[in-house]
Amino acid sequence: MFWYDGKLINSEQIQLDINEPGLCYGATAFTTMRVYNNSLDHTLSCWQAHCDRLNLTIQAFNWRQPNWQKLKQGAKILLQHFPVLRLAIFPSGKEWITGRSLPPELKQRQIKGITAWVAKEPIFRRDLAKYKTGNYLFAYLARDQALNLNAQEAILIDAQGNWLETSTGNLWGWRDGCWYTPCLNSGILPGIARSRWLTFLRENQIEVSENIWTPEFSQTLEALAYSNCVVDWMPITTVNNSNYQVHYPRKLPLDFETFNIS
């Protein structure tokens, strides 16, 4: 079941023109959202933020605007069946929405943490980092390689070795009583969950800073996590970096179970 171009389609196959740029080049704008309490209007669903993310890319690439009412109509129908929605817009303005379940191991991993692998090969460098486009091959390859190495996430870096983000989310680190996250001008995606957590931490007077994660800085972190709209937050307890490992505590300095805004 999915939504495409104003229609609900009960099938596992989609029919696209063979010259569709989204098929040929991955030319789509997309965003993945988690729907809370079966409502797009729930504060944590961040519906408007996801629409703004799509619109940022559409305007930057000079693509045709979608029918935003149809997009919302399709999302409202699919959220009755799925807690996670992936919204994609083609250059023609046609909308495509698919749904899926939450990861079955989500709660367990939030308690135990995950292992991340530092993706140092140049092939895993990001292009157009500001925009979330359907050409997500670099992230797919990085995460696939991480899985092959018994890790659940990949940490992407730039040419100078600075840590940027994971293959699916934004990084958070703890040191000396302060939370840190890589700044946007380092070349990362402006994550919606990242923005929500920044606002939450600042409103609760919890010290937080945006900076560049140089290799030297990354080695000084006392705890590590990442965030995205599906997992919300996730502790990283082990990092495989070339020929050595770094271990972090399972319980984060900030009790996310207590402060969890989801």
Straight-line distance from the first to the last Cα atom of the chain, in angstroms, rounded to the nearest whole number: 27
The answer to whether the Cα torsion of 10, 106, 162, 141 is positive or negative is: negative
Total number of domains in the chain: 2
State whether 160 and 66 are in the same domain.
no
How much is the pLDDT for 81? 97
Which of 30, 65, 100 delimits the end of a domain? 100
**Residue 156 contacts residue 164 (beta carbons within 8 Å):** yes
How much is the pLDDT for 262? 47
State whether 138 and 245 are in the same domain.
yes
State whether 134 and 30 are in the same domain.
no
State whether 77 and 120 are in the same domain.
no
Q: What is the block-wise mean pLDDT of the chain (262 residues), using blocks of 10 residues?
A: 97 95 96 97 97 97 98 98 98 98 94 95 83 91 95 95 96 95 94 95 94 96 96 96 88 62 48
- Element (DSSP H or E) covering residue 107: helix 106-112
For residue 191, what is the domain's CATH number?
3.20.10.10
How much is the pLDDT for 259? 52
State whether 182 and 213 are in the same domain.
yes
Which of 78, 100, 122 delimits the end of a domain? 100
- Element (DSSP H or E) covering residue 165: strand 163-166
Which of 72, 100, 128 delimits the end of a domain? 100
State whether 94 and 129 are in the same domain.
no
How much is the pLDDT for 250? 84
For residues 26 and 135, give the distance between their C-alpha atoms in angstroms, rounded to a whole number: 5
State whether 163 and 95 are in the same domain.
no
State whether 204 and 158 are in the same domain.
yes
State whether 140 and 242 are in the same domain.
yes
State whether 118 and 92 are in the same domain.
no
For residues 69 and 75, give the distance between their C-alpha atoms in angstroms, rounded to a whole number: 10
Q: How far is C-alpha 99 from the geometric centre of its chain's CA atoms?
A: 16
State whether 6 and 69 are in the same domain.
yes
Q: Token pair for residue 52?
A: 């703004």
Q: Does residue 128 belong to any structural domain of this protein?
A: yes
Q: Does residue 257 belong to any structural domain of this protein?
A: no
Q: Does residue 139 belong to any structural domain of this protein?
A: yes
How much is the pLDDT for 83? 98
Instruction: Tell me whether residue 30 is exposed, middle or buried, using C-beta atoms within 10 angstroms of its C-beta: 0 to 12, 13 to 18, 19 or more.
Output: buried
Instruction: Tell me whether residue 245 is exposed, middle or buried, using C-beta atoms within 10 angstroms of its C-beta: 0 to 12, 13 to 18, 19 or more.
Output: exposed
Q: Does residue 153 belong to any structural domain of this protein?
A: yes
Q: Does residue 261 belong to any structural domain of this protein?
A: no
State whether 248 and 126 are in the same domain.
yes
How much is the pLDDT for 144? 96
How much is the pLDDT for 96? 98
**Residue 153 contacts residue 168 (beta carbons within 8 Å):** yes
For residues 194 and 181, give the distance between their C-alpha atoms in angstroms, rounded to a whole number: 9
Question: Among 176, 168, 177, 185, which residue's Cα sits nearest to residue 234?
Answer: 168
How much is the pLDDT for 260? 52
For residues 27 and 64, give the distance between their C-alpha atoms in angstroms, rounded to a whole number: 13
Q: Does residue 259 belong to any structural domain of this protein?
A: no
> Residue 6 is part of which domain span?
2-100
Residue with tokens 């994550």: 191
Q: What residues are paired with 115 via a beta bridge?
A: 238
